[in-house]
Amino acid sequence: MISAPSLLQPAPAPAPLPPAAAVPASLRRRPRRRSGDTLGLAWIGGAFDAAVFHRQQPGGRWASPEPVLTLDQFARALSAALDALAFAGSETFLVLEHDEFVHQSEVAPAFSEEAAQAYLKGWIQRYEREHERVVWLGERMHTGRQDSSYVLHLLPYSFYDRLNHLLLDRHLDLTRLLPLAVPLQAVLGTLPVPPDRPVLLAAAAGSGTMILVARPAGESVFSRLIRASGPAEPARVGAEINRSLLYAKQQFGIAVEHVWLLSGDAVAAETRARCRGLQELACRELTPADWLQAIFRLPAKHPVNLVAGYLRRHRRQEFIRRVLMAACWLALVVAALDAYTRRESERAERARFATLSARAPALLAEHARLAARSAELDRSQALVQALAAGRLPPVPSSFLRFLTAQLPPEVRLSVYTVKFDGPQAGWSFHLEGTADGDEEAGGDLVGALEQRLARSPLRVRLNNGARSLAPLPPTGTPGSGPAQRFILEGVLLEN
């Protein structure tokens, strides 16, 4: 693992990976799924270990007796582990340290998290243009400085894709892919270290050694992977531990006085001889099974997971694909139902047409009878309309009812005539009568009657030239007063 490039020697370029071997039929497992079973894999510096966890409890463990350096060797070791452990689940996590797995330190703008993420995405885009597509994750380092230091974990997508297909061929679902620094951080919380002091951890990583400087809360400052193991090269490992202590003090101002050697006491003497001023140098033997146990106990949503974002995108795409497939199936079902409905409707129409064809003579005879009856009714209706059009409207009786309602008791009619003078002249009327009272009173009564006629809805227009008002001669009858004789003529319903 690389997050302090100034301390590292350039690693030789790895040989190109051969294509992963196909899975023989004898090695393929049946998809026997059982909830609660998890398979942990550790492929660290050529060492391959596998462990099974069932319902929060560790199960069996298997370690490859031979080094595992290529994907073909990984496939054979994985098949052997599955047969030995009789794993019946599908969920799998992998702790990986490999030549293809690169860890690059970068310093991003510190004024906002959005700016830092934008900078890292731009860096990845430039890297992919110059090299190849990668699966990546940016892990924040807690250096104590004002800048934003990150370690970019970079895994070529081609390597990840072949690795993932090896797992899928064996019905294994890779849910977490983590670097070795993650279990080291998890183990740090179980060690009896001072709560306010930084600590250095050194652990065996296959044929190499992982060095991690972290704070007591598990916050990483930096980590390194050196190509030397404690049992084989204790002097070099001790020298690299001393260089890491000096680097932490010079670059970050962190004085590390507590060192834990998690691969036993093979390099304890060399470390004690080279690292002056240590307050504590402790040793504890931890195996890859302990790393897997530490990873298994981490929460499922641990932020350092190389495939978390990829899995989210993959699951989102899978969800969209399933929705589209469901929509297509629904459209197919609707089309089938529509075709079935159309076929049934056509069949019903054909049956109805056959029934109507059998009844055609009777229906034609009924149609002829109804047509004759309709023609007879039309002739009768035309005759009635013609007779009704020839009759005059009841204007005389309507005008008489209106006059009866408008005449006061002092006015009496003696002559009432209404006649139709033709379509152009319209209706004319002639009224004669008497009004009680002298000439003035009788004139007022007749004038009031004229006003009511003029304002009536019958549209009356009086002929003033024919108007007459004259006193009647006295009759000599006891109790009778003066009276006036009047004559009114005019036109009704004038347009």
CA 45 – CA 3 distance, rounded (Å) = 17
Per-residue model confidence (pLDDT) at position 147? 67
Q: How confident is the model at residue 5 (pLDDT cuts 50, 70, 90)?
A: very low
Please state the rounded mean pLDDT for residues 42-58: 86
The predicted structure's pLDDT at residue 157: 92
Query: Which has more confidence, 478 or 209?
Result: 209
Model confidence, pTM: 0.58
Name the band, by pLDDT with cuts 50, 70 and 90, for residue 384.
Answer: low
Residue 391's pLDDT is what? 66
- What average pLDDT does range 157-182 have in this prediction? 91
**What's residue 8's pLDDT?**
30
Which residues make beta-bridge pairs with 433? 413, 486
Q: What is the rounded distance in angstroms from the CA atom of residue 190 to the CA atom of residue 195?
A: 12
Question: What's the confidence (pLDDT) of residue 337?
Answer: 93
Residue 19 confidence (pLDDT): 45
Return the top range by mean pLDDT from 209-213, 267-271, 344-348. Answer: 344-348
Q: pLDDT confidence of 228, banded at 50, 70, 90?
A: confident
- Please determine, for residue 377, whether its predicted confidence score (pLDDT) is greater than 60: yes
| pLDDT for position 394 | 79
- Can you give the pLDDT at residue 6? 32
Confidence of residue 387 (pLDDT cuts 50, 70, 90): low
pLDDT digits (tens, 9 = 90+) for 414-460: 888 988 887 777 788 898 988 888 888 888 888 888 888 888 887 88
**Confidence tier at 17 by pLDDT (50, 70, 90):** very low
pLDDT higher than 90, residue 50? yes
**Domains of the chain, each with CATH number or no CATH:** 31-306 (3.30.420.380), 395-492 (3.30.980)
pLDDT score, position 327: 93
Choose the weakest-confidence range: 22-26, 185-189, 396-400, 488-492. Answer: 22-26
Instruction: Report whether pLDDT(28) > 70.
Output: no
Tell me what the mean pLDDT of segment 364-390 comes to: 80
pLDDT at residue 388, as a whole number:
58
309 band by pLDDT with thresholds 50, 70 and 90: confident
Task: Output the pLDDT for position 156.
Answer: 93
State the pLDDT at residue 7. 31
Q: Which residues make Cβ contacts (< 8 Å) with residue 426, sequence separation at least 6?
A: 420, 491, 492, 493, 494, 495
Q: pLDDT tens digit string along 80-122?
A: 999 999 888 888 999 998 889 888 888 887 778 888 888 889 9
The more confident residue out of 171 and 300 is: 171
pLDDT for 115 equals 85
Residue 265 has pLDDT above 80, yes or no: no
Question: Residue written as tokens 């009778």?
Answer: 480
Q: How much is the average pLDDT of 187-214?
A: 84
Greater pLDDT, 50 or 183: 50
**Per-residue pLDDT, 158:** 93
